């Protein structure tokens, strides 16, 4: 996280230097930066991303800011709801006049807000998502820093097989771009491992919709799959609820 935030500040400095003299959110004493994240709702645990940004901005300001300007963070709670993200981003662009955005949790959330950000020609540094769709925004003002979710899932899959001895990996995933990228990474890596002679299969592929709290059916399916490992591409609350169901079923797979 510290490396990411260091990159964020460096990118903001470059964007500021490269910008024309008159820019929204930039005064002689301040640079206003926008951020959104789930401070409430099923993904509230990811609200720590905003907390980390706030802490690092305080550190930078204590060192004199950027070119003598104080970093001012404007943040909105979107509850992990893409519709609320769009409303929050529109408000921060139109009312708060932010110079740039930093972080911003969620694949679906970020993709929903991206057209607004691009139309406003606003820099966005470090989207808090590993979707390849952000990394593909080359030549624009989106600076992606996260590991691609497909790559992340592939690395975890290979680790489970080559280091932990797994021979069947199921997946529990959120039914959106985030979770589907994890599924793709699992399937592609299993195919590569099989081609290399590993005796491993993809177990059940179990999805859930955002906000689902009762995961008993999904837990039963995963237990019935017979897999020894389960790859989790879910929000924190869903993962915790699934683990609770596993405990109730006395199912103890390796979870990644």
pLDDT, position 57: 96
Domain co-membership, 133 together with 163: no
Domain co-membership, 115 together with 156: no
pLDDT, position 31: 96
Whole-angstrom distance between the N-terminal and C-terminal Cα of the chain?
20
Residue 239 has pLDDT above 90, yes or no: yes
Contacts of 60 (CB under 8 A, 6+ apart): 9, 66, 71
Domain boundary among 116, 143, 170: 143
What is the rounded distance in angstroms from the CA atom of residue 131 to the CA atom of residue 82? 15
Domain co-membership, 28 together with 111: yes
Domain co-membership, 189 together with 68: no
Lowest-confidence pick of 18-22, 33-37, 47-51: 18-22
Cα 236–255–251 angle (5° rounding)?
105
Domain co-membership, 133 together with 16: yes
- What does the pLDDT look like over 141-190, one tens digit per residue? 899 888 999 999 999 999 999 999 999 999 999 999 999 999 999 999 99
Name the residue among 209, 206, 201, 240 with its Cα closest to residue 221. Answer: 206
121 CB neighbour count, 10 Å cutoff: 10
The pLDDT mean for the chain works out to 91
pTM across the whole model: 0.84
């Amino acid at each position: 996280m510290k490396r990411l935030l260091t990159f964020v500040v460096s990118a903001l400095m470059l964007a500021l230097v490269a910008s024309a003299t008159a820019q929204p959110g930039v005064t002689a004493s301040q640079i206003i930066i926008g951020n959104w994240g789930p401070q409430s709702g099923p993904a509230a645990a990811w609200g720590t991303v905003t907390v980390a940004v706030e802490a690092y901005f305080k550190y930078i300001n204590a060192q004199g800011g950027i070119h003598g300007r104080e970093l001012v963070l404007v943040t909105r709670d979107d509850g992990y709801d893409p519709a609320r993200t769009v409303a929050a981003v529109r408000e921060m662009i139109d009312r708060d006049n932010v110079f740039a955005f930093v972080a911003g949790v969620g694949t679906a959330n970020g993709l929903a807000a991206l057209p607004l950000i691009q139309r406003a020609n606003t820099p966005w540094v470090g989207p808090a998502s590993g979707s390849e769709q952000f990394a593909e925004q080359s030549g624009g003002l989106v600076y992606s820093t996260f590991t691609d979710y497909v790559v992340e899932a592939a690395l975890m899959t290979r680790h489970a097989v080559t280091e932990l001895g797994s021979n069947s990996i199921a997946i529990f995933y959120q039914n959106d771009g985030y979770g589907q990228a994890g599924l793709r990474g699992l399937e592609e890596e299993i195919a590569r491992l099989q081609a290399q002679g590993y005796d491993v299969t993809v177990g059940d592929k179990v999805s859930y919709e955002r906000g689902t709290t009762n995961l008993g059916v999904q837990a039963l399916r995963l237990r019935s799959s017979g897999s020894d490992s389960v790859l989790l591409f879910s929000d924190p609350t869903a993962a915790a609820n699934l683990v609770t169901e596993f405990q109730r079923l006395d199912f103890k797979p390796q979870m990644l």
